[in-house]
């Protein structure tokens, strides 16, 4: 099936099996408020002073089809399950790297069902269809999840590491920048490096 088309996957929910659809948020804009609330709750600490309204507006601007930026969602019926984004930039200290996988989020009660992996694969497919050979992401805590999906470590870096979500234990653990290997010729071989934490005001999460 062409990567730009919606995909139907079997999703085990309790003792039942239902169908999960993966498609564009642009085609299901009734879910924008939910995605905005998810992302704000999860990552608001990265944008002090940000608001739900501002985040909602940014999501609407990212609602593309077969382009960058775009937002991919997983849902079943009228229930939103998760989201992921394909955007041009996600770290203003690494503007030379583009594009990025960002905003990967699965509803807490629907995790460990393969939804996150399906969303990541769909974003990779979207990038591949657009001619992207390398896709990047950064994560403060889920390196193993992405490694299992074939992503390769590019570097450890400190990016906004001093601003921690108030609901989480403060840590100085550096974020990771990762990139998937689309084929044997595009494996990232950048050596591990560390850079100092840099405070900045713009962020595209």
Domain boundaries, the chain: 7-134
pLDDT number for residue 39 = 92
pLDDT number for residue 72 = 98
Give me the residues of the chain with pLDDT under 50, please: 1-7, 15-17, 161-174, 182-205
- The structure tokens listed for 78 are 């009228």
**Range 7-134: architecture per CATH:** 3-Layer(aba) Sandwich (3.40)
pLDDT number for residue 2 = 41
pLDDT number for residue 168 = 25
CB 59 within 8 A of CB 97: no
pLDDT number for residue 45 = 77
pLDDT number for residue 201 = 26
pLDDT number for residue 18 = 66
């Amino acid at each position: 099936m062409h990567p730009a088309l919606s995909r139907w996957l079997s999703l085990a929910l309790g003792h039942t099996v239902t169908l999960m659809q993966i498609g564009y948020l642009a085609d299901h804009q009734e879910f924008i408020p939910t995605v905005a609330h998810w992302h704000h709750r999860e990552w608001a600490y990265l944008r002090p002073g940000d608001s739900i309204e501002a985040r909602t507006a940014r999501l609407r601007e990212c609602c593309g089809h077969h382009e960058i930026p775009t937002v991919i969602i997983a849902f079943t019926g009228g229930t939103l399950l998760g989201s992921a984004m394909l955007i041009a930039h996600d770290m203003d200290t690494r503007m030379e790297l583009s594009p990025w996988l960002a905003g990967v989020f699965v509803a807490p009660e629907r995790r460990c069902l393969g939804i996150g992996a399906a969303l990541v694969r769909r974003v990779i497919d979207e990038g591949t269809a657009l001619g992207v050979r390398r896709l990047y992401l950064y994560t403060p805590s889920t390196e193993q999840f992405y490694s299992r999906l074939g992503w390769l470590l590019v570097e450890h870096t400190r990016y906004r590491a001093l601003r921690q979500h108030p609901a989480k234990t403060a840590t100085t653990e550096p974020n990771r920048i990762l990139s998937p290997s689309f084929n044997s010729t595009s494996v990232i071989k950048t050596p591990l490096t560390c850079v100092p934490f840099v405070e900045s005001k713009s962020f595209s999460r």
